[in-house]
A and B are shown apart, each in its own frame.
Chain A
Amino acid sequence: MTTRYFGEPIRRNEDPRLLRGEALFVDDVQLPGMLHVAFVRSDFAHGRVNSIDVSGALDVAGVVAAYTAGDLGDLWRPGPLLVPPPPTIERLTFNERTQVPLAKDKVRHVGEPLAVVLAESRYAAEDGVGRIFADIEPIDAVVDLESALAPGAPLVHDDLGTNLMAHVIQEKGDYAAVRDSADLLIARRLHYDRGTAAAMENRGVVADWEPRGRLLRVWDTTQAPIPLRNGLAAMFDLGQSEVQVIAPFIGGGFGPKIMMFYPEEVIVTWLALKLARPVKWIEDRRENFFATTQERGQIHDAEFAFDKDGRIVGVHDVFMHDAGAYAPYPLTVPINSSCTLLGPYRVLNYYTEFKAAFTNKPIVTPYRGAGRQHGVFVMERMLDLAARELQLDPVEIRRRNFLVPEEFPHHHEIIFQDFKPLIYDSGDYEPALDKAVEMIGYREFRAARAAARDGDGDGDEKRAADDPSADGRLRGIGVVAYVEGTGIGPYEGARVSIEPSGRVNLATGIGTQGQGHQTSFAQIVADQLGVHPSDVRVVTGDTREFGWGTGTFASRGAVVAGNACQTAAEAVRAKVLELAAEELEVAQDDLVLEGGKVFAKGAPQISIELGELAVKANPLRGAVRHGTEPGLEATSYFGPESGTTASGVHAMIVAVDPETFMVEIERYVVVHDCGRVINPLILEGQIVGGVAQGIGNAFYEQLVFDDQGQLLCPSFMDYLLPTATDVPRIETAHHETPSPLNPLGIKGAGEAGAIPVAALFAQALEDALGLEGFELLEIPLSPNRLFELVTAHRGGGQAGDGSARENHPANGDTPVPEKYPPNGDTP
């Protein structure tokens, strides 16, 4: 078979609709008689709910109804535990607490919903919200991660008696035994904080109950339409076939949209059923900062043991993880941190332990990278420190520790987020490193700087003038490596069919949030059926079109669903050939499937169109032969044995103004291995977009909470997403080691771009600043933070330790001026 479209950078099927403004997003759903809701949300991070008086809202023009937790009856119950703790981990403590639809006795984070107002418009619903009085008695909030686990801390969940959500220990080899014989021990505390996904489209739900047809339709910005359908059916006692969940075009997902049930999903559906009227809720940006899940801080105490050549002898890492107020997705993020820390390196002795704590902050669930960044940061920073200590080049120390091709599959002897042992299926890291080093001009950069400094290795002050480009800025270079476990199970499915018109349909359960599934899946199918990808109509994320599957997460869409598409298309191809052979009286082996028809090799006039075959496969009279199925259709599932390991190397050159600490990335190089590539255009888009989010995490975005759990930056004025002037041109190259674990040889790529950026940023900035003994051990950084760290370092302070963090502006006692002054600007 000739593969013609697989691997081609073809433009996307979905784009014309998007470009014309014709694509359907959830907020575009407009139904007659539709009502709109707005939520009353807690102003306090922690408090006891004494009472809520909704009566004021009912007097507001346009308001139809208002409800609180008490009105929910049986429906008021904690949400499902989406991923239970891996039963395969032995040393594990876990305390389950999941979110509730409306807070009843207690609020546990700012923005937790307390009541809902239903009105003729969102405007009126918000008017109603303004008239509802919630009497809440504030309690001291649990904000700081370390104090959350200290004795005597206020309790987020009183009945638990502790804020400990989970405590997990995993071990490989024997760190304690090798520690003593190591030549070099490095111990550091590292802070890594992440932000919010901030997809451009906020979340939204529209629910509509049609009693005559007994059909509940729910349009939802979810990354997991099928589990959502199953859950809603169970919750409202409906058959799964009576519920249709549609995840139409989604304006970016990045993880948080996989979470379910968000309180709003329960409430909006409940209201639609209760009132038998369509109901819509569209999250606004302010709500998004509280109501959509986030990722947040970890504090790692890492100790690494090296031999004198810089080889890792063992790693000991103990960390704390901030889970937020509830934990529906409890261990995925910290387990990813534990596992991804190992990177592409040979670590034979590893002790990893974490404690996850409940805090009075919004819920933490995976956001692009899902804890992997935290692990990569620890490993890469510690390698840099060791290189410095041993006077090794940072590139060299990585090279020395890489796993080599002979070591695959490589068994890490610890458990990954999918409950399976962490095994790297394949990889070849050194060529990627070489490529990145060459592309960024690593040796030239180092040589030029050595020449410019010319023996003056001491002072940083002179550096500015010494620098090759002499514009007063300091330049630094960095190179880091990472691996990413992708494409995990359990399974996805796809159905391929050919209509009598000759049209090819492909339906799969996973939704798409911009990853181009409607094109890459079409490419896979097109190759099998000899049509053009634009002739394949792809439906994703409509449970009535395809009802089995789990969702788009963990960089698994292309791997798992892609392979299901492949097998389904192969099956249809077999049917086509079998039938055509019969019709044309030509042996199957002598048939060619191309251009929408089947013809005999060397005799193209002996041919039959796909559509005609579809008609013949579905006769109106006569009998379908026993043991065969009508139609040219096949459904297939793919369940990978285990995840596949994508990997890569990122490098960058950064310029920093030594006076203002403004930073510019001058070059950025990515060399990645995500197995075989379906569509390089789409792949590269994923990588570049991921890097941009990584840059945001490293230097721009930060969710700053005050000591009472108030978020100080709940707007795009203060939560800074990188713009076109902050993200550099990103040069990419591809190094391909096909995965042996799936027929297409694909590995996931969705998250790779984002994972190593922060580690790289810290490394390159350290290199640029060139201060003796100066270490960047925390993320996010900012100009302000760099100033503080450098000042502390120059003043003899211990840069980067816990105490330097005290200087965070948010901890100052001056109130934060808002861009939008209270009550407008009335004098």
Chain B
Amino acid sequence: MHQRLTVNLVVNGETYERDVEPRILLSDFLRHDLGLTGTHVGCEHGVCGACTVLVEGEAVRSCLMFAVQVDGRQVTTVEGLAPNAEELHPLQEAFWESHGLQCGFCTPGILLSMVPFLESNPDPSEKEIREALSGNLCRCTGYQNIVDAVQRAAAGQAAGGATPEAADVADEPSRRDGGDEATAGEVPA
């Protein structure tokens, strides 16, 4: 019988405990064990970005992590972005307005890549947005409307439209390292 381990974690503010085989990928764990199917899987080798989620506020490929690695950690998935059933997250809203999605398969991963990006770079240029997007493949849109959506969201943020929700999901301790501390590097998650 294969080893099984208990994973305790918080996803979108909710606590879960599950027994899993250590080989279960975080993407599969979220989708199939927790039923959070908004996280999509497009390649399982780290390239397409569809599976991107936030672990401790940082965008990572959930297909390149094992569920057991997030034991004790905080995870945010696309289901955790909107504040409630009526309102969307400002970035989601911007995607809707800008027609930033077609089939929508890549969208969750793109949203979760862009949330921390806009946090760290609230007023990005088009070039910076495109570079930040380059780790997420979209086969439908040609990216243009996605870029526009991110710009729209940034403009909204600047105009004071930034909602606390946006900060909530992304505002994990931003570990800017100084030069004088012993563990300037980020604590591995």
Contacts and interface: CB of A to CB of B under 8 A. Distances in A.
B61 interface: no
Contacts of A717: 45, 47
A123 B45 contact: no
B185 interface: no
B119 interface: no
A816 interface: no
Given A23-B104, A688-B144, A251 B40 contact: yes
B152 to A, nearest CB: 12
Interface stretch (B88-96, B153-161, B163-171): B88-96
A15 B98 CA distance: 11
A327 to B, nearest CB: 26
A18 interface: yes
A803 interface: no
Given A201-B40, A249-B103, A724-B130, A19 B96 contact: yes
A105 B142 CA distance: 43
Contact of B103 (A201, A682, A684, A729): A201
Nearest to B23: A123
A797 B91 CA distance: 54
A252 interface: yes
Interface of B, secondary structure class, is: loop
A19 B111 contact: yes
Contacts, number: 180
A22 B37 CA distance: 8
A284 interface: yes
Contacts of B41: 27
A686 B81 CA distance: 27
B145 A285 contact: no
A200 interface: yes
B55 interface: no
B103 A513 contact: yes
Given A61-B2, A513-B103, A685-B102, A21 B108 contact: yes
Contacts of B42: 200-202, 251, 285
Interface stretch (A496-504, A648-656, A689-697): A689-697
A376 interface: no
A16 B35 CA distance: 19
Contacts of A250: 103
A686 B108 CA distance: 20
B4 to A, nearest CB: 12
Most chain B CB within a 10 A radius of its CB, from A12, A514, A693, A820: A514
B137 A723 contact: yes
A658 B103 CA distance: 38
A386 to B, nearest CB: 32
A20 B88 contact: yes
Interface residues of A, number: 59
Contacts of B78: 19-21
B19 interface: no
Contacts of A686: 102
Given A21-B38, A27-B37, A682 B104 contact: no
B18 interface: no
Most chain B CB within a 10 A radius of its CB, from A61, A284, A516, A688: A688
B134 interface: yes
Contacts of B2: 61
A14 B126 CA distance: 27
Interface in A244-264: 249-254
B70 to A, nearest CB: 18
A469 interface: no
Contact of B99 (A27, A251, A681): A681
Contacts of A24: 37
B139 A254 contact: yes
B184 to A, nearest CB: 28
Contacts of A25: 37, 40, 105
Interface of B: 1-2, 21, 23-24, 31-32, 35-45, 47-48, 50, 77-79, 81-82, 88, 92, 95-97, 99, 101-108, 111, 126, 129-131, 133-147
Interface of A: 11-12, 14-16, 18-25, 27-28, 30, 61, 123, 197-202, 249-254, 284-285, 513-516, 681-682, 684-686, 688-693, 715-717, 721, 723-725, 727, 729-730, 753, 820
15 contacts: A18-B104, A18-B107, A19-B82, A20-B38, A21-B78, A21-B79, A202-B42, A251-B104, A252-B102, A285-B43, A684-B99, A685-B142, A717-B47, A723-B134, A723-B137
Given A11-B96, A252-B105, A514-B105, 8 more contacts: A18-B107, A19-B92, A21-B39, A21-B108, A202-B42, A514-B103, A516-B102, A729-B144
